[in-house]
């Protein structure tokens, strides 16, 4: 019963994992943000493409239902960016419809080369979401980070943000990400990590543990392409041992069982998928040996 042993270890006192509501069956697993100890469910929600639905009222309402299901099943962290077209107003529409859920952990980005325009962009984003302040503000793809970070850290000191971070994806600029992680007092780093994209395991994830930086794993499904490739193959027997109902949950369990990962942020336009994805934050987690097997099995199929 190595998975049970693993989950006992992960959920144990002093371990990085905790149950979102101890004692409640099927509560979401959480991880502590190292900078504060705040617990976050290990599965969040991305918004790139899936929430970029423009002014189409029916599509916006469908996204609101995804967000409703996300909160109803214990989700907290939603990630967006000024880069994601109409995704920010779509999130705002959903939050307004749900009466501004108290559980929300808002993760936004500043994405403008002209650093002087950063404050105005953050204010526009805030208006789109309809929140008082963002929980996390990340410098998107390191664009202008030297100029943005001092301002974001100042905003944090003034209580206008709670956490500051940086992002990258698809293995880009890892050397620069590492430099920022080593030299700047950031709380979060966001990067691509999944069983088929494991470069972050080499340096960035160990460094995040060492520097006590929370990690958000983006592109868990390679924008859906990973699941499409895997869908051609039967899920191996270990998936049932982990309580997975298919590849999506297996991929997410692989990601969030890395000790450095705080949260994975799959994006979806479908209620059934958001419920399925949050389901990966429940039940047994793979230990190191099974994680290696999952990675090998995925690599052999994509």
CB atoms near residue 292 (< 10 Å) = 12
Q: Is the CB of 83 or the CB of 153 nearer to ligand NAP? A: 83
Closest contact distance (angstroms) between CB of 22 and ligand NAP is 27
Q: Is the CB of 18 or the CB of 62 nearer to ligand NAP? A: 62
| Chain residues that interact with ligand NAP, rule: CB under 6 A | 46-50, 79, 140-141, 167-169, 190, 218-224, 227, 248, 265-270, 273, 276-277
Say if residues 168 and 140 touch (Cβ distance below 8 Å): no
The tokens for 23 are 């004692």
Q: Is the CB of 18 or the CB of 60 nearer to ligand NAP? A: 60
Closest contact distance (angstroms) between CB of 228 and ligand NAP is 8
Closest contact distance (angstroms) between CB of 176 and ligand NAP is 13
Closest contact distance (angstroms) between CB of 214 and ligand NAP is 14
Closest contact distance (angstroms) between CB of 251 and ligand NAP is 9
Closest contact distance (angstroms) between CB of 252 and ligand NAP is 8
Q: Is the CB of 4 or the CB of 228 nearer to ligand NAP? A: 228
Closest contact distance (angstroms) between CB of 24 and ligand NAP is 23
Nearest residue to ligand NAP, scored by beta-carbon proximity:
46
């Amino acid at each position: 019963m190595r998975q049970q042993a693993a989950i006992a270890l992960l959920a144990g006192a002093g371990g990085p994992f905790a149950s979102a509501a101890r004692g409640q069956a099927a509560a979401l697993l959480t991880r502590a943000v190292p900078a504060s100890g705040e617990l976050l469910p290990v599965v969040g929600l991305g918004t790139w493409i899936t929430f970029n639905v423009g002014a189409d009222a029916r599509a916006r309402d469908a996204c609101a239902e995804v967000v409703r299901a996300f909160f109803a099943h214990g989700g907290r962290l939603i990630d967006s960016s000024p880069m994601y077209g109409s995704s920010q107003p779509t999130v705002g529409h959903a939050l307004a419809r749900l009466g501004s859920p108290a559980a929300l952990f808002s993760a936004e980005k500043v994405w403008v080369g002209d650093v002087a325009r950063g404050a105005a962009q953050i204010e526009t984003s805030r208006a789109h979401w309809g929140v008082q302040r963002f929980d996390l503000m990340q410098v998107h793809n390191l664009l202008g980070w030297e100029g943005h970070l001092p301002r974001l850290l100042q905003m944090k000191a003034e209580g206008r943000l709670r956490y500051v971070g940086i992002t990258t994806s698809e293995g880009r600029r890892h050397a620069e990400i590492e430099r920022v992680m080593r030299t700047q007092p950031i709380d979060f780093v966001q990067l691509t990590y999944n069983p088929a994209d494991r470069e972050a395991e080499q340096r960035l994830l160990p460094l995040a543990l060492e520097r006590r930086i929370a990690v958000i794993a983006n592109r868990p499904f390679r924008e859906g392409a990973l699941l499409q490739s895997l869908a051609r193959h039967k899920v191996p027997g270990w998936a049932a041992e982990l309580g997975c109902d298919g590849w999506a949950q297996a991929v997410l369990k692989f990601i969030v069982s890395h000790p450095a990962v705080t949260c994975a942020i799959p994006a979806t336009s479908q209620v059934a998928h958001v419920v399925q994805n949050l389901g990966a934050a429940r039940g047994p987690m793979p230990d190191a040996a099974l994680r290696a097997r999952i990675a090998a099995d995925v690599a052999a199929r994509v």
